């Protein structure tokens, strides 16, 4: 991307004040130290830092494999991290619902779809490892009591429908059952516990961690720091850094504090940077993903994101200036986010495009009621009414809808090459529901390099750092340039389970 | 005095004389707590109250009943919500020394008309 593009993009995003929400956060500095002379305050079997999908799955798996004294530490006052506030979308090949719906899928096919979106720099071995074990992770959620909508969805960049979604359309439909499962199994869960650094043995191995207790995020309050010895090792499941504006701007200067963010406030990256300080390999940090389904009319992930994700396959995204489509509505996230950011008025100011869906189709997802009720989406009885509300050229829009409906009929989108499988028989017809779209920072593809055993590799030796494992968004390089939607939950859970398995075998 | 109280409520002034004014955001607190800081500050005056402090008087199950919503919106109950169930510490949404917005407003446009900062 040229500098000119960067500046231009920055200007578009900055022009949209409504999307702002990410607060500046300056996390306290964590520092690791040698254990010489350190007094251990506590000794436990396994330390897990972070209570999202990866940490919770690691806790359950370790306990199943016989661990007796597992501790999950969470710096926020509440559990679940970013995993508790996302779409709850879970992709896996060879699932019961795929058999039921007659969808032909395979590990190879899921990996191939992800490799394409990774644009040549994704890690095939890790993607394959996750796809091979995704069904086990999905089963873990079934066993814990997670419930899913009775249909599959086909998300952007996926060549078939392979995505489950929780009935509450949120990751909390997984984190809450997993958290309760952890506690039922005897896993100890500690909130307000902030990771302050590793404690290192004579050979550079991780022996334990420094933890600050009674921590109040974003407040000045010195809690007590204690040294915890982790007999089997430490699993870092600390998530991404999308909420740390300084760190994300260091990678991508266009991602200023004015750019919206879907993440929980705690996604600030200290755990990741402390692993770098220890010697972990930084991978793909500049690949920070924006979600093309987000709305400028609400904060964070809100209600619109899931509404859009569900409806994109049978909807049209319209540039309000032209009244025309401007992208394949189920292209991968980067393709769509870039296309949306290019939608602007004559002066170059942000002009969030609109997503138009037939109400008869949109109403099948529970979020449709919500977006209308909470005034972040609108219902219209005619094209004229819709066009006038959003100031879209009526004639051009009418022509576009007629053209698109031909693609629905023929099954071939000659305009943008969209896969029309899920659009079958779903003509764009009044009444309509409409939301506005504008990308928000959503996911960090970059992080520490790991092996397929969830070991963290050392920059200089290339060998795993003893006693240290990592899982989930804190890891980098797995997805390459653009992660496909619904592929993070399986990755987090499979790698959390993998970390537990590796640790119990070591 | 009234102006000072208003400024406090607006979160413009939260240091200096804040301690004295703490219980004035909620009238009922003034009655029950008076000027005994330790009633809430169970971890010492310089520390935030523990997450159990409010539960000396308030019961989360009762609060959840009071703020229950219709079946359709049941998970928008701040005291028993979709993301964290009944576990969200009181201090995430309520402050006695400074005004706070409900944590939901990070992402949602819900209206909680009776929410006293």
Tokens of A67: 């661990």
pLDDT in tens, A270-313: 999 999 999 999 999 999 999 999 999 999 999 999 999 999 99
Same domain? For A347 and A455 the reply is no
Question: Are both A169 and A198 inside the same structural domain?
Answer: yes
B109 in A contact zone (CB under 8 Å): yes
The sign of the CA dihedral B8, B14, B20, B22 is positive
**Of A333, A336, A344, A501, catalytic:** A333
pLDDT tens, position by position, B42-97:
998 888 999 999 999 999 999 999 999 999 899 999 999 999 999 999 999 999 88
Strand order in the sheet with A432-436: A324-325, A316-319, A354-358, A432-436, A378-380
pLDDT at B7: 46
Inter-chain contacts counted by CB atoms under 8 A, chains A and B: 62
A-chain CB neighbours of B48 within 8 Å are: 214, 216, 219, 221
Please report whether residue A67 resides in a domain: yes
The domain of B8 spans 2-106
- Which chain B residues are closer than 8 Å to A375 by Cβ? 109
Considering only CB atoms, A78 lies closest to which of B87, B107, B108, namely: B87
Whether residue A307 sits in one domain with residue A183: no
Q: Which residues of B touch A213 (CB under 8 A)?
A: none
Same domain, A391 and A470: no
Instruction: Tell me, yes or no, whether A112 lies in a domain.
Output: yes
Query: Is residue A10 in some structural domain?
Result: no
Per-residue pLDDT at A504 exceeds 60: yes
Q: Are A299 and B82 a contacting pair at CB < 8 A?
A: no
Report the SS3 class of residue B17.
coil
Say if residue A425 is exposed, middle or buried (CB neighbours under 10 Å; 0-12, 13-18, 19+). exposed
Question: Is the domain of A383 the same as that of A488?
Answer: no
Please check whether residues A87 and A189 belong to one and the same domain: yes
Question: In whole numbers, what is the pLDDT of chain A averaged over residues?
Answer: 93
Task: Confirm or reject contact between A8 and chain B (CB < 8 A).
Answer: no
Q: Give how far A21 is from chain B: nearest CA, Å.
A: 7
User: What's the pLDDT band for B32 if we cut at 50, 70, 90?
Assistant: confident
Q: Which residue of A has its CA nearest to B43?
A: A214
Phi, psi of A462 (to 5 degrees): 80, -5
The pLDDT of residue A257 is 87
Inter-chain touch B83–A216, beta carbons under 8 Å: no
> What is the value of pTM for the model shown?
0.90
Interval B29-35 mean pLDDT: 81
Quick check: A29 pLDDT over 70? Answer: no
Q: Which residues in chain B touch residue A441, judged by CB atoms under 8 angstroms apart?
A: none
Q: β-strands A324-325, A316-319: how paired?
A: antiparallel
pLDDT in tens, A183-236: 999 999 999 999 999 999 999 999 999 999 999 998 887 789 999 999 999 999
Residue A419 in domain = yes
Instruction: Say how many C-beta atoms besides its own lie within 10 A of residue B54's C-beta.
Output: 18
Residue A288 is assigned to a structural domain of this protein: no
Shared domain check, A412 and A330: yes
User: Residue B117 falls within a domain, yes or no?
Assistant: no
Q: How far apart are CA A195 and CA A391, in angstroms?
A: 51
Residue B36 counted as domain residue:
yes
Taking the CA of residue B89 and the nearest CA in chain A, the distance in Å comes to: 7
Mean pLDDT of chain B: 82
Residues A377 and A230 in one domain: no
Which residue of A168, A297, A302 is in closest CB contact with B82?
Answer: A168
Which residues of chain A does B105 touch, with a Cβ-Cβ cutoff of 8 Å? 299
Between helix A53-64 and helix A124-144 the angle, nearest 10°, is 70
Give the mean model confidence (pLDDT) for residues A427-451.
Answer: 97
Instruction: Specify whether A409 is located in the same domain as A490.
Output: no
Q: Are residues A323 and A465 in the same domain?
A: no
pLDDT higher than threshold 60 for residue A90: yes
Supply the CATH number for residue A414's domain.
Answer: 3.90.700.10
Q: Which residues span the domain enclosing A302?
A: 293-438
Phi, psi of A44 (to 5 degrees): -130, 170
Indicate if the pLDDT at residue A3 is higher than 70: no
Residues A485 and A430 in one domain: no
Burial annotation A242-260 (CB, 10 A radius, 16+ → b, else e): bbbbebbeeebebbebbbb
Structure tokens at A438: 């504008």
| Per-position DSSP letters for A407-426, written without gaps between them | HHHHT--TTT----GGGTT-
> Residue A452: its pLDDT value, please?
98
B47 lies in a domain?
yes
Assigned domain for A268 exists = no
Nearest CB among A170, A265, A376 relative to B109 is that of A376
In a domain, A182, yes or no: yes
In a domain, B116, yes or no: no
User: Is residue A333 annotated as a catalytic residue, yes or no?
Assistant: yes
The CA-based angle A224-A181-A140, given to 5 degrees, is: 125
Q: Which of A385, A419, A438 represents a domain boundary (last residue)?
A: A438
- Report which DSSP code applies to A85: G
**SS3 call for A371:** helix
Q: Does residue A364 share a domain with residue A221? A: no
Give tens-digit pLDDT for A107-147. Answer: 999 999 999 999 999 999 999 999 999 999 999 999 999 99
Q: pLDDT grade, residue B13 (50/70/90)? A: very low
Q: How does pLDDT run across A339-358, given as a tens digit for each residue?
A: 999 999 999 999 999 999 99
Number of domains in chain A: 2
Residue B114 belongs to a domain: no
Q: Is A220 near chain B, with CB under 8 Å?
A: no
Of A304, A191, A347, nearest in space to B50 by CA: A191
* ipTM of the prediction: 0.88
Distance from CA of A55 to the nearest CA of B (A): 16
Q: Which backbone phi and psi does A91 adopt, to 5 degrees? A: -95, 135
* Integer Cα distance of A456 and A454 in angstroms: 6
Count of domains for chain B: 1
Identify the pLDDT of residue B117.
61
For the record, the structure tokens of A364 come out as 């099948």
User: Is residue A299 less than 8 Å (CB to CB) from chain B?
Assistant: yes
pLDDT of residue A86: 95
- Residue A270 in any domain: the answer is no
Among residues A438, A453, A486, the one where a domain terminates is: A438
CA atoms within 13 A on the CB side of A247: 24
Distance of CA A498 to the CA centre of its chain: 19
Residue of B nearest to A85 (CA): B83
**A208 DSSP β-pair partners:** A199, A229
Query: pLDDT at residue A6 above 80?
Result: no
- Which residues from chain A sit within 8 angstroms of residue B110, using beta carbons? 374
């Amino acid at each position: 991307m040229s500098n000119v593009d960067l500046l231009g993009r920055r200007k578009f995003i900055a022009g949209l004040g409504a999307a702002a929400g990410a607060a500046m956060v300056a996390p306290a500095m964590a520092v690791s130290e040698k254990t010489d002379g350190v007094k251990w305050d506590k000794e436990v079997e396994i330390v897990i830092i972070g209570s999202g999908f990866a940490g919770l799955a690691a806790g359950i798996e370790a306990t199943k494999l016989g661990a007796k004294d597992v501790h999950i530490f969470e710096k926020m006052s509440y559990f679940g991290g970013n995993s508790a506030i996302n779409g709850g979308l879970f992709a896996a090949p060879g699932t019961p619902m795929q058999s039921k719906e007659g969808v032909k899928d395979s590990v190879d096919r899921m990996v191939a779809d992800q490799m394409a979106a990774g644009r040549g720099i994704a890690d095939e071995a890790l993607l394959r490892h996750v796809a091979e074990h995704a069904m086990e992770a999905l089963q873990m959620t079934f066993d814990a009591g997670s419930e899913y909508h009775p249909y599959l969805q086909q998300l952007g960049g996926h060549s078939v429908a392979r995505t489950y979604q929780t009935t509450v359309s949120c990751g909390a439909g997984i984190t809450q059952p997993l958290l309760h499962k952890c506690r039922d199994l005897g896993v100890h869960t500690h909130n307000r516990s902030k990771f302050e650094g590793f404690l290192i043995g004579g050979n550079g191995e991780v022996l334990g961690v420094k933890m600050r207790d009674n921590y109040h995020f974003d407040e000045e309050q010195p809690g007590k720091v204690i040294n915890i010895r982790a007999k089997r090792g430490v699993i870092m499941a600390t998530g991404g850094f999308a909420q740390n504006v300084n760190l994300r701007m260091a990678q991508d200067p266009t991602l200023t504090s004015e750019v919206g963010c879907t993440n929980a406030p705690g996604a600030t990256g200290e755990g990741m940077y402390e692993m770098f300080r220890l010697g972990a390999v930084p991978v793909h940090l500049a690949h920070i993903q924006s979600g093309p389904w987000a709305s400028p009319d609400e904060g964070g992930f809100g209600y619109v994101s899931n509404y859009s994700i569900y409806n994109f396959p049978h909807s049209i995204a319209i540039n309000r200036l032209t009244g025309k489509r401007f992208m394949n509505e189920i292209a991968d996230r980067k393709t769509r986010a870039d296309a949306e950011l290019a939608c602007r008025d004559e002066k170059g100011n942000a002009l969030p495009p609109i997503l138009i869906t037939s109400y008869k189709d949109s109403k099948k997802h529970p979020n449709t009621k919500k977006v209308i009720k909470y005034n972040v989406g609108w219902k219209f009885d005619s094209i004229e009414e819709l066009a006038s509300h959003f100031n879209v050229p009526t004639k051009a829009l009418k022509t576009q809808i007629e053209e698109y409906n031909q693609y629905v009929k023929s099954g071939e989108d000659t305009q943008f090459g969209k896969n029309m499988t899920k659009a079958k028989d779903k003509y764009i017809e009044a009444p309509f529901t409409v939301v506005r779209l504008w990308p928000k920072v959503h996911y960090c593809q970059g992080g520490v390099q790991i092996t397929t055993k969830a070991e963290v590799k050392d920059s200089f030796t290339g060998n795993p750092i003893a006693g240290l494992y990592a899982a989930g968004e804190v890891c980098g390089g797995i997805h390459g340039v653009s992660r496909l939607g619904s592929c993070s939950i399986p990755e987090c859970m499979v790698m959390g389970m993998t970390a537990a398995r590796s640790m119990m075998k070591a | 005095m009234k102006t000072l109280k208003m400024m406090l409520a607006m979160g413009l002034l939260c240091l200096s004389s804040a301690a004295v004014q703490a219980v004035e955001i909620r009238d009922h607190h003034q009655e029950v707590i008076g000027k005994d800081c330790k009633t809430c500050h169970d971890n010492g005056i310089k520390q935030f109250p523990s997450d159990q402090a409010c539960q000396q008087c308030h019961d989360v199950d009762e609060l959840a009943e009071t703020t229950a919503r219709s079946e359709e919106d049941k998970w928008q109950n701040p005291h028993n919500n979709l993301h964290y169930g009944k576990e969200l510490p009181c201090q995430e949404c309520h402050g006695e020394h400074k005004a706070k917005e409900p944590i939901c407003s990070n992402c949602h446009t819900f209206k909680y008309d009776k929410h006293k900062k």
